[in-house]
Structure 1
Amino acid sequence: MKQPDSQHQRPADDTPEWAEFFKTQVEPFWEQQVLSEYFTAFDGIQLHFAYYKHSADAPLVVIAPGRIESALKYQELFWELAQQGFSVAALDHRGQGLSARLTANHHQGHVDNFDDFVRDFSDFTEQLTSLFGSVPKTLFAHSMGGTIATIYCATCSHPYNKLILSAPMFSIETGKVPYWLARWVVAAGACINRYLAKPWYFFGMGDYQAVPFEENVLTHSKQRYQTFRRVYDNVAEVQLGGPTFNWLYEAVSAAMKAQQLASDVHIPVILFQAGNDQVVSAAGQKKVAAAVTREYFRFETIEGASHELMMETDRFRQPVLDAIIEETRELVNA
């Protein structure tokens, strides 16, 4: 297995050299070696994905992003895994990234039925099988992507050998509002919305806005956050605002479904919990960790980390990156 050499060492994210590294190493790699493609979903909409093929027999790391995310947000991770000799691919879920949007307002985070995400991911995996064949495959899934991946791996025949979950959405943070009350409000709003009007934003939500770093709850890494925002500001097509009532209703229901199905995922799983997560709540993750007793299920909390583990500062991010690399390398050495 290829090891990173001194020419491809990444500088620390809190040093001035990191920005230069991203500009001179990551961006040219993305522009020159990462391919962009589309396929047609079951209902006719166009879905976008990006991929890098290292070699015909290289192991493949597949990324299931979270809400609002695009493959573009994972440029650094693509580069890092490429240095390890891995192929990489990421899907833009329906309604976000460069995939087709689902409402007249392209800023609305919306879905009609959460199972559509799961079916899309199954079809995406078929696309990857055509491109990469039967090479070993690791599935890395973040936040909403973790919900999708868990339901998919539990209910579908699939080719993945390992699953790594990053702050998976097994329950949603509701702050001071009791969870039962939040669920009732979301369900009632979604029901009314379906029959009376075009999709509404949930209370307080609106179109895309670039939140200053000092106000963000996603990461402690200023340079990674600023780079992410710069990419989104420069590519208007990937900008996404808040969720609709129906997205939230479907997400809450799917999170509970994923909790119930987690024991039916019969491949090794590592679940990383962000210790200072203000986006998804720890409750659902802890329920899954308590319910799944298989020896090949591992639960780790990264104390102090915010929700976006792969955008976090190095000390929070590195354990997750190490796990992706080590688990994928094990597949080759097995």
Structure 2
Amino acid sequence: MSLNDPLKQKPSDDSPTWRTFFDDTIVPFWDAKVESRYFKADDGLTLHYAFYKHNTEAPLVVISPGRIESALKYQELFWELAQYGFSVTAIDHRGQGLSDRLTDNPHQGHVDSFDDFVRDFARFNDEIEKEFGNVPKTLFSHSMGGTIATLYCANYKHSYRSLILSAPMFSIDTGGVPYSLAKFVVSVGARLNRWFARPWYFLGMKNYQRIAFEDNVLTQSSVRYDAFRDGYEAQPSVQLGGPTFNWLYEAIKASEAAQDVVNKINIPVTLFRAGADKVVSKTGQLAVASKATAGHFTFRTIEGAYHELMMEKDCYRTPVLNAIVEQTLPLLQQSQGPCAQ
């Protein structure tokens, strides 16, 4: 680690002092420096986003989170990027975080149409342009948020300089069930949901619960996992349970659509695959990589990593953090002008 590394004060996740640092440094930064805003989606839903503004000219890292995630889950990343002199913002997608929910049960992960997520993200970009102006931007996205970001960058005019995809949801792990059968079951369930006008959880899904670390499939970092769960228990309004039939139906359609649009994206794209992912399958990610003909597409596998790369152990997490920093630092130098040292 370089003496000039702005993160040199931060202990590694295997240090007994990591949680103390998180509680005594990162959480107070979040409470004092990170602001909340709300805006209206096209259909009138109220959506939430959080942001940290370093200054009026700093480059901006925009985060498109995954399913069940809220901006709150990215406290550590907000703090880290702030140390580099970047501004940061993250949206709470509809139906999760502090944004409006879509069913009578606030724990249900539901959406009527996946296109709503993409339209919301377009509106979100209008909002952050009002807040930050025309600063250079990097887009970081995770899982479901990667599907949203891919469809957005392929189909909307935007000003992002690069896109980073962390374990993107380009296909869903069906747990050993043949994909065609799983897709059929989901399709029938979603159709019945619409017929009865009552969203149902997918088979086996339920309200939010704190799963023991030993049973989780998200991360191998116990301290990051506990910090995430403790934060969600301290703020129950961000808790989210399993997906509905219709969410899964829409997610499958969107994942398949995202596989076909990578070559419509004309900015550098870096896709990180988690090598031990049990949430999304590698099939769609490999399909995207095989279809990418543009020279600005990079595919990287982090062997042994679980799905939540930004919650993982440092050895798995650091390459993704480094990619965000490396793609945003040149934007910082540009924003400071030709005399920047």
**Greater alpha carbon shift after TM alignment, 71-80 vs 128-137:** 128-137
Q: Would the aligned equivalents of 1:8 and 1:83 in 2 still touch at CA under 8 Å? A: no
What secondary structure sits across from 1:260 in the alignment?
Answer: coil
CA RMSD, aligned part only?
1.2
Task: Return the letter of the residue paired with 1:184.
Answer: F
Deviations 1:208-236 (A, max 9, x none): 01000000000000000000000011111
Amino acid at match of 2:273: Q
Aligned equivalents of 1:30, 1:95: Cα separation in 2: 23
Alignment of 1:224-243 (within 5 A): 224-243=224-243
The aligned runs of 1:19-34 (5 Å cut-off) are 19-34=19-34
SS in 2 for 1:94: coil
Q: Runs ≥4 in structure 1, deviation > 2 angstroms?
A: 3-9, 330-334
TM-score (norm 1): 0.98
Q: CA deviation at 1:330?
A: 2.4
**1:70–1:238 contact (8 Å) kept in structure 2:** yes
CA distance in 2, matches of 1:217, 1:5: 31
Residue identity matched to 1:261: V
2:304 is aligned with 1:307: no
Note if contact 2:86-2:332 (Cα within 8 Å) is conserved in structure 1.
no
What is the distance in 1 between the residues matched to 2:177 and 2:270?
A: 30
* Partners of 2:30 and 2:145 in 1: CA distance: 22
* Residues 221, 312 of structure 2: 8 Å contact kept: yes
TM-score, length of structure 2 as denominator length: 0.96
Which residues of structure 1 form unaligned runs of 5+? none
1:230 maps to a residue whose letter is D
Q: Following the alignment from structure 1 to structure 2, what is the Cα–Cα distance between the partners of residues 317 and 4?
A: 20
TM-superposed CA distance for 1:327, in Å, is: 0.5
CA apart distance, 1:123: 0.3
Q: Answer yes or no: is the 8 Å Cα contact 1:97–1:238 preserved in 2.
A: yes
- The whole-number CA distance in structure 2 between the counterparts of 1:6 and 1:260 is 39
3-state SS of the aligned residue for 1:25? Answer: helix
User: 5 Å matches for 1:1-334?
Assistant: 9-333=9-333
- Alignment-mate amino acid for residue 188 of structure 1: V
> Is the alpha carbon distance of 1:6 and 1:278 closer, same or farther for their aligned partners in structure 2, counting shifts above 3 Å?
closer
Aligned residues: 332
Q: Which amino acid aligns with 2:151?
A: I
1:175, CA displacement in angstroms? Answer: 1.5
- What percent identity do the matched residue pairs reach? 61
Q: Secondary structure at the match of 2:160?
A: coil
- Measured in 2, the distance between the counterparts of 1:35 and 1:207 equals 28
Contact 2:193 2:245 in 1 (8 A): yes
Find the aligned partners of 1:36 and 1:19 in 2 and give their Cα distance.
25
Find the counterpart in structure 1 of residue 339 from structure 2: none
- Measured after TM superposition, the shift of residue 9 of structure 1 is 2.3
Shift of 1:7: 7.8
One-letter amino acid of the structure 2 residue matched with residue 268 of structure 1: P
The letter for the 2-side match of 1:216 is N
State the 1:261 CA deviation: 1.1
One-letter code of the match for 2:97?
G
Q: Is the 8 A contact 1:4 1:83 kept in 2?
A: no
